[in-house]
Amino acid sequence: MADERTRRHIALLAARLMYDRTESEYFTAKRKAARQLGVEYRFRPKDLPSNAEIREQIRVLASFYEGDKRDDDLLRMRLAALRMMRLLEPFRPRLIGSVLTGHVRRGSDIDLHVFTDHLSAVVTVLEDERYEHAVQHKRIRKHGEERMFTHIHFADDEGHGFELTVYGSDKVNYPFKSSITGKLIERATIPEIERLLRDENPSIDLDAEIASLEHDVDRFAIYRTLLEPLAEVKQSATYHPEGDALYHSLQVFELARERAGYDEEFLLAALLHDVGKGIDPSDHVAAGVEALADLVTDRTRFLIEHHMDAHAIHDGTLGHRARQRLMESPDFDDLMLLRELDVAGRRRGVVVCTIDEALDYIRELESSNA
């Protein structure tokens, strides 16, 4: 039987292992802490500190090292959780884990349970919201029974990591228990999280706070997400001897920087004009315009939407009315310049910048023009 002093020492050391993210599971952290103290052989598992005791020590460590920032981080994480739960409302989400209990530490994920018989439905929502995600199928064997768990991992635009565990719709009211303690897992619905936030922050305007999260979207991060897949888009050697679509796009950007290095809207059109090829190569223009939506200005969208029409104008294959409409645009000359650069950016062996260097240049240009 562990004396209270040793028990507290184990709890503190286990909390340190979890706070530093050396260990992620309570039971493993307890056993490792006991081994480090040289006392593991003396105790049965039930003699070790409870998860609640370790959570309290994690809270103490977080408060000591992070101070008021921890409370701010917890609020931001709970608001991010609520925003995601509202987005996933058709799948009856439940918040679990440290964000619910308040025992967050550096790098804590936001853990949600969602319920559906169709994994693809959840994935589609995440894709529509442009979240880069990974689906993990984890096989667990316990008490002679093998079970498969499905997790979806992704991060939001503020960098909060999410782990969704997907269960069948018939499990929505199932009394989930901890595999370590055997006790019911704490979890909360959307109304319960809203009530918790209002109780702890009486003056909070939840809708305004959620809206502010949506306005904080980093469009440059989304640009990067759309550009990266172009490295895998191999193009026709007849029309694009330079190779993949990303190399081509960076060539066009470099040429645009030489010709109009002061023009943020034109530079974005040059860099992003082919992002649709990573989404739907059969209609890359429509796919790109839809993906960029309100992330670019009307002028940039016009240039991207009509860059293939500019080729048709040059070739004499565009209809008279369509040609006239485009020629009446104040951005017609820039459209034809984009076509010129689109053709010129198809050389082998040209040195180009990276995606991040291109985006940093445009971001700095935006800041200097603000």
Residue 334: name the closest of 264, 278, 283, 279 by CA. 264
Contact of 6 with 37, CB cutoff 8 Å: yes
pLDDT recorded at residue 65: 60
Q: What is the largest CA-CA distance in the chain?
A: 91
Cα 30 to Cα 8: distance, rounded to the nearest angstrom: 11
Report CA 196 to chain centroid distance, whole Å.
25
Question: Two tokens at 221?
Answer: 């991060």
Mean pLDDT across the chain, nearest whole number?
85
Work out the number of other CB atoms within 10 angstroms of the CB of residue 286. Answer: 13
**pTM of the full structure:** 0.49
Task: For each of the domains in the chain, give its residue range(s) and CATH number, in order of start.
Answer: 4-65 (no CATH), 68-215 (3.30.460), 219-369 (1.10.3210.10)
Cα 227 to Cα 303: distance, rounded to the nearest angstrom: 17
Report CA 251 to chain centroid distance, whole Å.
28
Percent of the chain, pLDDT > 90? 41
Does the pLDDT value for residue 181 go beyond 70?
Answer: no
* Span between the terminal Cα atoms of the chain, in Å: 67
DSSP-derived letter for residue 216 is T
Report CA 248 to chain centroid distance, whole Å.
27
Decide: residue 179, CB within 10 A, 0-12 exposed, 13-18 middle, 19+ buried. Answer: exposed
Work out the number of other CB atoms within 10 angstroms of the CB of residue 305. Answer: 17
Residue for token pair 């984890």 = 138
pLDDT recorded at residue 235: 81
Q: What average pLDDT score do residues 50-54 get?
A: 75
Residues 6+ apart with CB under 8 A from 9: 37
Contact of 91 with 115, CB cutoff 8 Å: yes
**R_g of the chain computed on alpha carbons:** 27
Torsion of CA 189, 195, 200, 203, to 10 degrees: 130
Mean pLDDT is highest, among 43-52, 104-113, 187-196, for 187-196
Does the pLDDT value for residue 52 go beyond 50?
Answer: yes
Does the pLDDT value for residue 12 go beyond 90?
Answer: no
Does the pLDDT value for residue 18 go beyond 90?
Answer: no
Does the pLDDT value for residue 253 go beyond 90?
Answer: yes
pLDDT recorded at residue 1: 45
Residue for token pair 């370790």 = 54
Contact of 169 with 180, CB cutoff 8 Å: no
pLDDT recorded at residue 134: 92
Does the pLDDT value for residue 8 go beyond 70?
Answer: yes
- Residue 309 identity: D
Question: Two tokens at 350?
Answer: 């040209």
Residue 137: strand pairing partners: 150
Query: Which pLDDT tens digit goes with each residue over 91-136?
Result: 999 999 889 988 766 667 899 999 998 998 899 889 878 888 899 9
pLDDT recorded at residue 327: 95
